[in-house]
Amino acid sequence: MWIEKLAIGVLRVLTPIGPRYVQLSFQQRIYLLWVFRHFQSLPHKVLSPRQQRMVERLCAEDQFVTWNHVEDVPVVGTIEQRPPVEVESFAPEYRQPVSTESASPLAARQRS
């Protein structure tokens, strides 16, 4: 299995619209095999800044590949890349203020 990953392995990046597969060069496959040596999947935020830049660069280069039979392709590793959701992005009418008294049911019971 290591030989197949080294020869033709791809990187799986989980995005909000579904998984994407990135074609890698031989050096990138070697490096990512080392990164994923103990794990099959890693969150984007646990990677080092250098590794994060590499993943972002790979995604920006648009080297995504598609296959009819995805299960046949050896995956070097999976990056769980989920963009953070910012509260400011929601319209003000949909945001509800949170009061400390009503937020906790335990606090409501203690007041009674």
Residue length, the chain? 112
Question: What does the block give as tokens for 62?
Answer: 């648009």
Distance, in Å, from the CA atom of 108 to the CA atom of 90, rounded to the nearest integer, reads 29
The mean pLDDT value of the chain amounts to 78
When pLDDT is cut at 50, 70 and 90, the band that residue 4 belongs to is confident
5 contact partners, CB below 8 Å, separation of at least 6: 29, 33, 74, 75, 76
- Provide the pLDDT confidence category of residue 6 given band limits of 50, 70 and 90: confident
The pTM (predicted TM-score) of the whole model is: 0.67
For the stretch 52-78, pLDDT in tens is: 999 989 888 877 776 666 667 899 999
- Spacing of C-alpha 23 from chain mean position: 16
11, 24 in Cβ contact below 8 A?
A: yes
Quote the pLDDT of residue 111.
54
Contacts of 63 (CB under 8 A, 6+ apart): 22, 23
**By percentage, how much of the chain surpasses pLDDT 90?**
38
pLDDT for the residue 73: 84
